[in-house]
Amino acid sequence: MKTDSNTVIRARQLCKTYGNGSKPPVRAVSGVAFTAERGEVLLIRGPNGSGKTTLLSMLGCMIPPSRGSLWILGENVTRLSQRRLTEFRMKHLGFVFQTFRLLDALTVSENVELPMNLGGMRRPDSARKAGALLEEFGLLHRAGFHPQALSGGEKQRVAVARAFANDPSLILADEPTGSLDSRAGKAAVESLCSAARRCRTTVLIVSHDSRIEAVADRVLCMEDGRLKGGTES
């Protein structure tokens, strides 16, 4: 299948069924199809258990779909080996999580540097780039701190800075405001979206939070594993 050079995600009939034989299979995602363009901010809303996180895991190349095809940046990721998927994730994807997922053992700066180092960038260069990112997100003064010393909003902004570390084409954000108060949540999402627009990075946000709709270019709703309002490709 050919994909437009502007198309970052093209999902066709994505399905994910869980089950190990002893229990009846559970269909978490069923026939999901949509596309996302470069620089687009896409919000997927839906109640708990609607399959949002499973969809995000598939888009994040972490679990394979049971059926359907998924093209990210023109690459059919359903056909890649585990090793290639890991490399693909490192080079092209960034993540923001509900509970921040910063490594407590590392400083703020080191947390941002980590994806760069995993990608092969050497220490002085990664430290310089992490400094620039932290400055962009207003956290340079916290660079030497450990995450435990940061507020929730600051932690999420560090996570956002980390997501941009390897200049990804796609950032997947799972409930980025879920652990924050409204002000901090708004600030975190706004900083994520404005940076993404500046870098022409596609952002796919999964959230309950209706306030995020204001910053999203497009909203898709998910219910019972199916997408409503998706663009069929």
Partner 1 sequence: MVPIVERMVWNERTRFLITACGIAFLVILMFFLGEVYEGVKAGSVGYIRQTGADLWICQKNSTNLLRSSSFLPVAAGSAIRKIRGVRETSGILRVLCTTRIGGGPVTLFLCGFDPDSPLGSPLSLKEGTPSIRSGEIIIDQAFAAKHGLHAGDSLDIQERRFRIAGICRGTNAVVAQFAFTTIESAQALLGFGGVASFFLVKGDGSVGSRALLDSVKLACPAWSVFSKAEFVENTLTEMKTGVLPILWTVAVMGCVVGVAVMMLMLYGSVFEKREDYALLKALGASHRFLTLLVIRKAVMCGLLGFVLGFLLNRLFNPLLIRLVPELCLEFRWSLAGTLLSASLAIGVLGSWLSIVKVVRFSPAEVFRA
Of the candidate spans 5-13, 49-57, 65-73, 197-205, the one that interacts with partner 1 by CB under 8 A turns out to be 49-57
Q: Which of residues 109-168 bind partner 1 (CB under 8 A)?
A: 110, 113-115, 117-119, 123, 126, 166
Which CB, 156 or 166, lies closer to partner 1?
166
Alpha carbons 177 and 181: distance in angstroms, whole number: 8
Closest approach, Cβ 73 to partner 1, in A, equals 15
Alpha carbons 16 and 66: distance in angstroms, whole number: 5
Residues 99-118, one symbol each (x = binds partner 1 by CB under 8 A, - = not), give x-x-xxxx---x--xxx-xx
**Residue 156: CA atoms inside 13 Å, Cβ hemisphere, count?**
25
Regarding 98 and contact with partner 1 (CB under 8 A), the answer is: yes
Q: Which of residues 175-214 bind partner 1 (CB under 8 A)?
A: 175, 178
Candidates 232, 96, 93, 231; CA nearest to 161 is 96
Closest approach, Cβ 49 to partner 1, in A, equals 13
Which CB, 2 or 122, lies closer to partner 1?
122
Q: Identify the DSSP state of 118.
A: H
111 φ, ψ (degrees, to nearest 5): -60, -40
SS3 per-residue string spanning 52-117: HHHHHHHHCCCCCCCEEEEEECCEEHHHCCHHHHHHHHHHHEEEECCCCCCCCCCCHHHHHHHHHH
Q: Which residues bind partner 1 (CB under 8 A)?
A: 53, 56-57, 60, 62-63, 83, 86-87, 89-91, 95, 97-99, 101, 103-106, 110, 113-115, 117-119, 123, 126, 166, 174-175, 178
